[in-house]
Amino acid sequence: MLSYRHAFHAGNHADVLKHFVLMQVLSYASEKDKPYWYIDTHAGAGKYSLNQGYATQNEEFSGGISQLWDADDVPTALSEYVALVKKINPDGHLRYYPGSPLVAEMLIRNEDRMRLFELHPSDSKILLQNFKQAGRKVMIETEDGFAGIKALLPPPSRRAVVLIDPPYEEKQDYQRVVTSIKESLQRFATGTYIIWYPLLQRPEPLQMLTQLAKLQLKSWLNVSLTVQSPSIEGFGMHGSGLFIINPPWTLPATLAEAMPYLQKKLGLDDSASFKLESQIP
């Protein structure tokens, strides 16, 4: 299925959590002198307009990045994320929101490399346009990232951050994530893998997490943010989370500071909450 367009959801509460955490992981990876690769299996368009097009239909960003835009009490780590978004809005007005590829491009170094996959032909075309000046540092493929990642691991530098962020339009995507992680760890056990997942009133997300937990991982972190009570109708996303394999050892403390603030700012009712658990040797 190719109906999913992330532009409808750009800058929402899930993007805030995802991109804030992605920044922490990439910043940590950049602390070492050795180069690394950033691999994005479902890259989207790379950059989204918030004042025209798809994003204006439901204005999901109003419950996400907009809640942090003018706040004067943002914790330090989160303030760096807000500053990054403001960098692509130099006039001070929230008009654009960066997708994961643009977040990564703003953080990686000259010696690092990006490998982006996007199967949707329209979004892939926009992604290519957004990165036409990037040169050899960025390679983009109009391809299924679940399949494409196999040829990239292990990367020449033996260091990589991999973001797996499928739309989950098809319930088979949950199993594809598990299969992809199993195969990727066999090829490249020391990579850092970030798996985004929605919180829904259906069993597949929790089943996926259960299967990931059974992989006997040495180092992992799971963080999720619930922003509202599940709908009476049983539809829609009431939160989201990230399961990270081989996370930075500094990440739990950073999230312990930031998550209560995100719960307060992005929560829509009294059921707003967060979950943070990890096992990092």
pLDDT in tens, 84-142: 999 999 999 999 999 999 999 999 999 999 999 999 999 999 999 999 887 778 999 99
Look at residue 5 in the predicted model and tell me its pLDDT.
64
Q: Evaluate if residue 51 carries a pLDDT over 50.
A: yes
Q: Evaluate if residue 55 carries a pLDDT over 70.
A: no
Contact status, residue 99 vs residue 47, Cβ threshold 8 Å = yes
Q: Which of 36-40, 51-55, 188-192, 210-214 has the lowest mean pLDDT?
A: 51-55
User: Could you tell me if residue 77 is left (phi over 0), alpha (psi between -120 and 50 degrees) or otherwise beta?
Assistant: alpha
Does 165 participate in catalysis according to the annotation?
A: yes
Parallel, antiparallel, or unpaired for β 138-141 and 192-199?
unpaired
Catalytic residue among 33, 165, 269, 270: 165
93: burial class by Cβ within 10 Å (0-12, 13-18, 19+)?
Answer: exposed
Look at residue 58 in the predicted model and tell me its pLDDT.
74
Look at residue 1 in the predicted model and tell me its pLDDT.
47
Q: Smallest Cα–Cα separation from 117: which of 152, 147, 145?
A: 145
Q: Evaluate if residue 54 carries a pLDDT over 70.
A: no
What is the fold, at CATH topology level, of the domain defined by 6-279?
A: Rossmann fold (3.40.50)
